Amino acid sequence: MSALIAANWKMHKTVAEATAYLDELFERLAALELTATQLAVCPPFTALGPAIARCRGRGVGVFAQNMHEQERGAFTGEVSAPMLIELGVSGVVLGHSERRQYFGESDRALAAKVPAALEAGLAPLLCVGETARERERGDTEGRLRDQVEHDLEAVAPERLGDVAIAYEPIWAIGTGVVATPDQAQAAIAFIRALVRDRSADAAGRMRILYGGSVTPENAGELLALPDVDGALVGGASLSPESFAAIAASATP
Ligand code: PGA
């Protein structure tokens, strides 16, 4: 399976900044052999359309950072899966810890969002991860189990392998404190075992990424871990130079 390296821009980049970034990124990628790596950028909603126009035919996917589970309705400020599909969006980040922490994103909403994304034809990238306190208390596996089981409960076993999961320990996001290779491997192998309990086929097919303070310096070691199928990159994805360097480190 090819690795997926996704750039989570969060609330960064105007349309002008996004298109300038992509032009530089494509120049940098042209110098690389990325046959076994799939790339995606996750711009804010306002830059999705222009990013899709720039990425067409370039082999870089464009993902949204969130969506509502309903197709339409009285949900002021929200965006639905069919609206994203119409633009040409190929996937969607769901359940990022910043959405859980600041915007009240619940496992209940995610249990509806993940199948809604699949149904519409978007590739869901579900984020899960424990807090520092949960890790200190020895609750990492319990937290991951809760999130994976709840958020995926309404996904049929035959579609489970089409979901990607990003394991993002909250204490590693934006802190510069990256998980050790042992911590990342153990958590991701645990998530894969949870998926295997529901479907062996899905566990084999599912991409499970690591996220949290990934940089060009640490990406190679993380991406070489046996269960790690890619990376979700925040801060270090904001410069085309460092994002291209991370992409290059995924190349076998
Ligand atoms: P970071 O963010 O790479 O800046 O730690 C990762 C993420 O939030 O997805």
Taking only the tens place, the pLDDT of each residue in 90-146 is 999 999 999 999 999 999 999 999 999 999 999 999 999 999 999 999 999 999 999
With a threshold of 0.85, does the pTM exceed it? yes
Amino acid at 252: P
Clarify whether 105 is annotated catalytic. no
Q: What is the maximum alpha-carbon separation in the chain?
A: 48
pLDDT in tens, 152-185: 999 999 999 999 999 999 999 999 999 999 999 9
- Residue 243 Cα to ligand 1 midpoint, Å, equals 12
Instruction: Please give the pLDDT value at position 247.
Output: 95
* pLDDT bracket for residue 31 (50, 70, 90): confident
The answer, yes or no, to whether residue 251 has pLDDT greater than 70, is no
Which amino acid residue places its CA nearest to atom 6 of ligand 1?
A: 234
78: Cβ–Cβ under 8 A, 6 or more apart, which residues?
67, 68
- Find the domain containing 52 and state its range: 3-249
For the residues 60-83, what does the mean pLDDT come to?
A: 98
Clarify whether 119 is annotated catalytic. no
Number of structural domains the chain divides into: 1
User: CATH number of the domain that 51 lies in?
Assistant: 3.20.20.70
The answer, yes or no, to whether residue 63 has pLDDT greater than 90, is yes
Instruction: Please give the pLDDT value at position 250.
Output: 85
The answer, yes or no, to whether residue 34 has pLDDT greater than 90, is no
- Residue 15 Cα to ligand 1 midpoint, Å, equals 21
CA distances from 3 to 61, 113, 212, 224, 238 (A): 13, 24, 17, 10, 20
Instruction: Please give the pLDDT value at position 8.
Output: 98
